[in-house]
Amino acid sequence: MTELLRAEGLSAFYGPSRILFDVNLVLQEKRTLALLGRNGAGKSTTMKTLAGIVPARSGRIIFAGQDITRMPPHARARLGLAYVPEDRQVFPEHSVEDNLLIAAKSGPDGRRGWTLPRIWDTFPLLENLRAREAGRLSGGEQQLLVIARALMGNPLVLLLDEPSEGLAPMVVATISRMLRELGASGATILLAEQNMHFCLRIAEEAVVIDKGKVVHQQDTVGLARNEDIRRRYLAM
Ligand SMILES: Nc1ncnc2c1ncn2[C@@H]1O[C@H](COP(=O)(O)OP(=O)(O)OP(=O)(O)O)[C@@H](O)[C@H]1O
Ligand SMILES: [Mg+2]
């Protein structure tokens, strides 16, 4: 197995408040790792620190064999680290298709595995909406669009922050199915989620975070049966 992303002893602050405490995680190539935790546990802060939006006060981030701890976000993106934030920002006045084409580029390894036709194949819903202004899409459609847009950059790793948040169950099921297919096709994903059930059939392994600390790590099937951890650290 090839390791693509590693965080070692990460700490992060917002002003004087310490939010992350020695966060460690390892993401292997072609795997999906869930980062689980309840509201305010530090999932988004971890994702932002990995993406370079929040600086790491201490610790190291190794991506595809390089130390990226001090790199700005755009340099990390150029190396193939794609970050999809929880706010689902699209270019509202542009069509779905233009939102995708704006992001099209070959990957850091020169690959262009993801092109518009493959996106339409994977996201038939988006193909039906290709001419629609992105600002007029539903929340779930926008979520699909921002994931697809990230893929158009042919990244090595996708950082997905709470793709299921605030969406209706049917839409969540669509996104879940799509992420499962994406994983099966060889994508490497770090998936931050509150919803353990959403992650169950997508991620093989889960890291549980609470109050900015990694408190547990387990395969997702085992975690689903682990009442104690679920009761203590996850809201279910
Ligand atoms: N910009 C900020 N300034 C100060 N504190 C912040 C800021 N953003 C988040 N926090 C605090 O940092 C902690 C971790 O927040 P974070 O957003 O990382 O949690 P989360 O696990 O993503 O939660 P959620 O499930 O609500 O998205 C929380 O206590 C939150 O209040
Ligand atoms: Mg969050």
For each of the domains in the chain, give its residue range(s) and CATH number, in order of start.
3-233 (3.40.50.300)
* Distance, CA of 102 to CA of 196 (rounded, Å): 33
Q: What is the rounded radius of gyration, in angstroms, for the C-alpha atoms of the chain?
A: 17
* Residue 173, both tokens: 């099921």
Q: What is the DSSP code (8-state) at residue 95?
A: B
Check residue 108 and give its pLDDT.
87
CB 23 within 8 A of CB 45: no
Atom 17 of ligand 1, nearest CA residue: 44
Check residue 110 and give its pLDDT.
85
Atom 23 of ligand 1, nearest CA residue: 40
Check residue 129 and give its pLDDT.
97
Instruction: Give me the percent of the chain exceeding a pLDDT of 70.
Output: 100
Q: How many residues does the chain have?
A: 236
Q: Is the pLDDT of residue 172 over 80?
A: yes
Which range (106-110, 123-127, 178-182) has the least confidence? Answer: 106-110
CA distances from 201 to 121, 168, 205 (A): 21, 18, 10
Work out the average pLDDT over 49-53.
Answer: 98
Confidence of residue 235 (pLDDT cuts 50, 70, 90): confident
CA of 19 from ligand 2 middle (Å) equals 12
Check residue 236 and give its pLDDT.
59
If DSSP codes are grouped into helix, strand and coil, which group holds residue 40? coil
User: Is the CB of 41 within 6 Å of ligand 1?
Assistant: yes
> Which of 11, 36, 43, 88 to mutate to test ligand 1, by most ligand atoms within 8 A of the CB atom?
43
136-151 confidence digits (pLDDT tens): 999 999 999 999 999 9
For 110, residues 6+ apart whose C-beta sits below 8 A from its C-beta are: none
* 72, burial (CB in 10 Å: exposed 0-12, middle 13-18, buried 19+): exposed
